[in-house]
Amino acid sequence: MDVLESLQQSVGYQFREQSLLLQALTHRSAGARHNERLEFLGDAALNFVVAAKLFARFPKVSEGDLSRMRARLVREETLAEIAGKIALADSLILGPGEIRSGGARRDSIRADALEAVIGAAFLDGGFGAAERIVAQLVEPLMTDDLGGEELRDPKTRLQEFLQGQGRPVPVYTTVAEKGQAHERRFVARCSVPGAEATEAEDGSRRKAEQQAAALMLAQLQVAVHG
């Protein structure tokens, strides 16, 4: 319970129903009363609160950039990083298989649990409780340097670059999958007509595609600008 108390202090909200918090921290591998439905609720609350706060914080930013800013703040990597800062993994309830495979270190499990905690807070204390957690953990990341070109992920930047030249959109394919189920590695290829295909490998299919896109963008920019 000391771990749970520390977690509640870190997220800025004290649960009245501790059972809701426990459910939010329970992975599906640990039992039938797990956190997936709470994650669904928390994801919706998180997206709305982040959108509202960005809208108020950046009154001159376009809808497209606001959407990209929100995407950056609510993406798996960012949520997993936040979860790491508050030691959320120490409170996770996992099944034996996930414990053996190091599930507490997996970004997806930590990010999902953080969303579930937000969803549980919504049920426990209403919208204000969910908003308090988002304000505590996510709002500090809404700094002035959040805007700009770096917000666009490589796939978005590559597509915009190609559209600006009137060229076809890129095609992404997974050319290989390696490793065991809990240590999967993906090799993604990015293909653009008239350019040499690029490939990248990562534990996430999406990250592999982004890295391949970044390589393709660099290649095309060199060809254009020299």
Catalytic, 145? Answer no
- Position of tokens 């929100």? 70
List, in order, residues 6 or more apart from 151 with CB less than 8 Å away.
Answer: 65, 68, 69, 72
Contacts 24+ apart (CB under 8 A), 127-131: 127/45, 129/13, 130/42, 130/45, 130/46, 130/49, 131/45, 131/49
Cα separation, 48 vs 154, in Å, equals 25
Q: SS3 string of 129-161?
A: HHHHHHHHHCHHHCCHHHCCHHHCCHHHHHHHH
Annotated active-site residue in 43, 98, 124, 153: 43
Q: Is 149 annotated as a binding residue?
A: no
Annotated active-site residue in 65, 98, 107, 115: 115
Q: Could you tell me if 117 and 42 are in contact, meaning their C-beta atoms sit under 8 angstroms apart?
A: yes
Q: Is 115 annotated as a binding residue?
A: yes
Q: Is 63 annotated as a binding residue?
A: no
Catalytic, 36? Answer no
Nearest of 47, 20, 29, 22 to residue 181 by alpha carbon: 29
Residues belonging to the binding site for Mg(2+) are: 39, 112, 115
Residues belonging to the binding site are: 39, 112, 115
Residues with catalytic roles: 43, 115
